[in-house]
Structure 1
Amino acid sequence: MHRFEQSGAALLRPAELPAYERGGGARTTPLVTREVGSASFITGITSFDPGAAIPFHRHNCQESVMLLEGEAILDIDGEEHPLAAHDTTFIPPNVPHRFRNASATLPMKILWIYESLAATRTLEDGGDTRPVALEHSPS
């Protein structure tokens, strides 16, 4: 990360930042966080191995996700929605959803944005709730 001293702005290069394993073939690279200086939102990139999926979950705040590369499926409201590069979602708080890699051979990447530094993820299976920020630390 490069910090601009005069303004406090930051330049983040994902290839130079750590990625944290989330299990199931997914890993997250946090980008804009409280530690970078954000006072109101967080962003990051999650990479999916071929065929990988994250479990159904919901958040306590609004979320937007853009498919950066690959082929994905958004599961929401009991429906499957294929996504192409740059398709972008808006997901209100407490709406169960998940993303999965539609390819059995190619990786997939999403950019996510949460409206809150205190974003949480609640798994639909079991109800476990954790701060999203916990996914951004070594296991």
Structure 2
Amino acid sequence: MNKQHAPIVMRPDQIKSYDRGGGARTTPLVSPGVGATSFINGITEFAPGTAIPFHSHNCEESVMLLQGHAFLDIEGQEHELKPFDTTWIPPNIPHRFRNMSSEEPMKILWIYASPAATRTLVETGETRPVSAEHNR
């Protein structure tokens, strides 16, 4: 029998964030640690000019741009995003997000359709659990 978890309100300004390197910083939110069994989510902040490397995931992903202006690079196309634009990305599709601004930060809300979501870097083929970036 699964342990029952209580509902929770998460306050990102009170949760430890983790440096992902290259100008990206992640704040984990919903995770198995709070009882999630079917998805995880969090917020990643991008410093001005930051671009994360091309990567793919083993599950569906949705990203909403919360702040700033971004590019989504996917399948040879560049899509400009403004706040509240939302993406849906099927599993195993290489993509990346870039901060368009050289002066302002950018912030996204990401949601993975599996608590066991992984990230595979296109350049190296390295695969790691998304949760490894924030030790939750």
TM-score (structure 2 length as normaliser): 0.95
Separation of aligned partners in 2, 1:8 and 1:32: 13
Residue of structure 2 equivalent to 1:119:
117
Separation of aligned partners in 1, 2:130 and 2:107: 18
Residue of structure 2 equivalent to 1:85:
83
**What are the Cα deviations for residues 49-94 of structure 1, in whole angstroms up to 9, with x where unaligned?**
0000110000000000000000000000111111000000000000
Residue of structure 2 equivalent to 1:26:
24
- Runs of 4+ that moved beyond 3 A: none
Separation of aligned partners in 2, 1:51 and 1:119: 26
**What are the Cα deviations for residues 25-67 of structure 1, in whole angstroms up to 9, with x where unaligned?**
0010000000011011000000000000110000000000000
1:10 counterpart SS class: coil
Separation of aligned partners in 1, 2:80 and 2:94: 17
Amino acid at match of 2:123: D
Amino acid at match of 1:51: G
RMSD after superposition: 1.4
Separation of aligned partners in 1, 2:135 and 2:24: 14
2:73 to 72, 75, 100: 75
- Among the aligned pairs, what percent are the same residue? 64
Which runs of structure 2 are paired with 1:9-88 in the superposition (5 Å)?
9-88=7-86
Amino acid at match of 1:26: A
Amino acid at match of 1:108: M
Separation of aligned partners in 1, 2:135 and 2:50: 21
Q: 1:137 deviation in Å? A: 2.5
TM-score (structure 1 length as normaliser): 0.93
Amino acid at match of 2:20: R
